């Protein structure tokens, strides 16, 4: 029996029936609703906001949260499969879901009061309230401990000043989870659109994640009520805990992008006749294609085990770093090689390889750069902090 070219070790057999059903549902959405429009959306630098109600109706926002808050009660492997299938369409669509679910709904769920959960989570699951996550500042995203944005208690309010940069969903968002220094360490605040002194400005001229909104956020004496402070965490572990959730999803997502590129390059090189035979009949093309399949297979095995560890409650952040580093590197190398196998045709958005390659430049940078994750693994091995 022939092996599946994009699942040579049959990792699908490691999935439960429910997990497969989740994967199939999201795959259908990507095939039918994302792929027909995404090339143009990327060209036009437009986030396809019209897809949000459908994404919500499929239960993809806060999918792992309990049903009482509008979540789907799914496990982590299912969440990973959602990310993989969405990113097979485009990293920008997966980014939207990652930010909403892991960076905005998760901190409200994990660090918020019952009242805050009831107030925001169900409408976020319905896609009616959109969130963004403000951690990075212009002077150095890799080192968030040096953040300058600060909040000072004034009566029953907090007064917020500072700015954030590179914020996914910034101009779309109804609420921003903003991390700020206080006299009591770093704390998280839910800043609402329309609060006086809060502004978002979209970052233009991006050559990557063009089908995603990226913004700067500005806070000029914004008065945030105490009821909007997330009370159950203090210190950098608050935002870093959210990043672990989102980075976990990103270990799966790029596998989808890599599969999309391999699929395209495989079909193209079988049909492209040069020097009297298909490009796919040359040894150099087969070496490249085989190497891509090898790297995808290793990534697939890695994320299933990572997901099982997460569901067992034993996943360590260093394990997420290893997989985020490996799988982003795997996918960007594959996207670039597929672009090459397509020759000149590979440079337009009529084909997906260049779009994925450009998107992956962001994916390998955000949520911790490749170097940051390498240094996390290095620290684990040596016991020496080299940051």
Residue nearest ligand FAD (C-beta atom): 141
Number of residues that bind ligand TGC (CB under 6 A): 26
Binder of residue 237, out of ligand FAD, ligand TGC, none (CB less than 5 to 8 A by kind): ligand TGC
d(CA 90, CA 256): 9
d(CA 378, CA 385): 8
Tokens of 345: 């045709």
From the list 202, 367, 370, 380, the catalytic residue is 367
State how beta strands 175-182 and 131-134 pair. parallel
Per the CB < 8 A criterion, the answer to whether 247 and 370 are in contact is no
Among 29, 166, 189, 252, binds ligand FAD (CB under 6 A): 166
Which among 9-17, 39-47, 130-138, 154-162 is the span making contact with ligand FAD, rule CB under 6 A?
130-138
Residue 244 interacting with ligand TGC (CB under 6 A): yes
Residue 160 interacting with ligand FAD (CB under 6 A): no
Binding-site string for ligand TGC from residue 166 to residue 195, where x marks contact by CB under 6 A and - marks none: --x---------------------------
Tokens of 311: 């569901």
Binder of residue 244, out of ligand FAD, ligand TGC, none (CB less than 5 to 8 A by kind): ligand TGC
Among 61, 130, 135, 338, binds ligand TGC (CB under 6 A): 135
d(CA 129, CA 370): 32
Q: Which is nearer to ligand FAD, 286 or 371 (CB)?
A: 371
Q: Which is nearer to ligand FAD, 210 or 339 (CB)?
A: 210
Among 63, 124, 177, 209, binds ligand FAD (CB under 6 A): 209
Give Cβ neighbours of residue 115 (< 8 Å, ≥ 6 apart).
227
Q: Is 367 a catalytic residue?
A: yes
Among 73, 197, 225, 241, binds ligand TGC (CB under 6 A): 241
> Which of 94, 98, 134 has its CA nearest to residue 230?
134
Residue 359 interacting with ligand FAD (CB under 6 A): no
Residue 136 interacting with ligand TGC (CB under 6 A): yes
Q: Which is nearer to ligand TGC, 64 or 136 (CB)?
A: 136
Among 30, 84, 297, 362, binds ligand FAD (CB under 6 A): 362
Query: At its nearest, how many Å lie between ligand TGC and the CB of residue 132?
Result: 9
Task: Tell which positions 95-124 bind ligand TGC, by CB under 6 A.
Answer: 95, 98-99
Q: Which residues pair with 170 in a beta bridge?
A: none
| Residue environment code for 166-196, b if the CB has 16+ CB neighbours within 10 A, otherwise e | bbbbbbbbbbbbbbbbbeeebbbbbbbbebe
Query: At its nearest, how many Å lie between ligand TGC and the CB of residue 154?
Result: 27
Among 26, 55, 86, 135, binds ligand FAD (CB under 6 A): 135
Which among 2-10, 231-239, 258-266, 272-280 is the span making contact with ligand TGC, rule CB under 6 A?
231-239
Residue 187 interacting with ligand FAD (CB under 6 A): no
Binder of residue 282, out of ligand FAD, ligand TGC, none (CB less than 5 to 8 A by kind): none
Binding site for ligand TGC (CB under 6 A): 95, 98-99, 133, 135-136, 141-144, 168, 235-237, 240-241, 243-244, 246, 317, 366-368, 372, 376, 387
Binding site for ligand FAD (CB under 6 A): 99, 133-136, 140-142, 166-168, 209, 214, 362, 365-367, 369, 371-372, 375, 387
Positions marked catalytic:
367
């Amino acid at each position: 029996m022939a092996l599946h070219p994009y699942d040579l070790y049959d990792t699908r057999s490691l999935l439960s029936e429910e997990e497969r059903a989740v994967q199939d549902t999201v795959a259908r959405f990507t095939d039918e609703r994302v792929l027909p429009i995404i090339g143009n959306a990327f060209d036009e630098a437009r986030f396809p906001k019209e897809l949000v109600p459908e994404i919500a109706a499929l239960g993809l926002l806060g999918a792992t949260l309990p049903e009482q808050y509008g979540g789907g009660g799914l496990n982590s492997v299912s969440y990973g499969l959602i990310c993989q299938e969405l990113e097979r369409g485009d990293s920008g669509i997966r980014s939207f879901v990652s930010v909403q679910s892991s960076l905005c709904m998760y901190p409200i769920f994990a660090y918020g009061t019952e009242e805050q959960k009831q107030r925001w989570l169900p409408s976020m699951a319905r896609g009616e309230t959109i969130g963004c996550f403000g951690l990075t500042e212009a002077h150095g995203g890799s080192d968030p401990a040096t953040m300058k944005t600060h909040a000072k208690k004034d009566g029953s309010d907090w007064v917020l000043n500072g700015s954030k940069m590179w914020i996914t969903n910034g101009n779309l968002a109804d609420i921003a989870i903003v991390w700020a220094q206080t006299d009591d360490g770093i704390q998280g605040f839910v800043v609402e659109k329309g609060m006086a002194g809060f502004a978002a400005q979209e970052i233009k001229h991006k050559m990557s994640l063009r089908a995603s909104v990226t913004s700067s956020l500005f806070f000029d004496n914004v008065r945030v009520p105490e009821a909007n402070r997330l009370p159950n965490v203090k210190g950098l572990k608050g935002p870093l805990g959210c990043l672990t959730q989102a980075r976990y999803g990103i270990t799966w997502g790029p596998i989808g992008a890599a599969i999309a590129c391999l699929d395209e390059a495989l079909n193209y090189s079988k049909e492209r006749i040069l020097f009297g035979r298909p490009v796919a009949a040359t040894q150099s093309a087969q070496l490249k294609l085989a190497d891509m399949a090898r790297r995808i297979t290793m990534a697939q095995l890695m994320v299933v085990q990572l997901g099982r560890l997460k569901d067992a409650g034993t996943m360590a952040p260093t394990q997420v770093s290893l997989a985020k580093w490996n799988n982003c590197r795997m996918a960007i190398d594959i996207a670039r090689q597929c672009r090459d196998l397509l020759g000149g045709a590979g440079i337009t958005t009529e084909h997906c390889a260049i779009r994925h390659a450009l998107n992956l430049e962001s994916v390998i940078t955000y949520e911790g750069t490749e170097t940051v994750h390498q240094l996390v693994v290095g620290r684990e091995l040596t016991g020496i902090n080299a940051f």
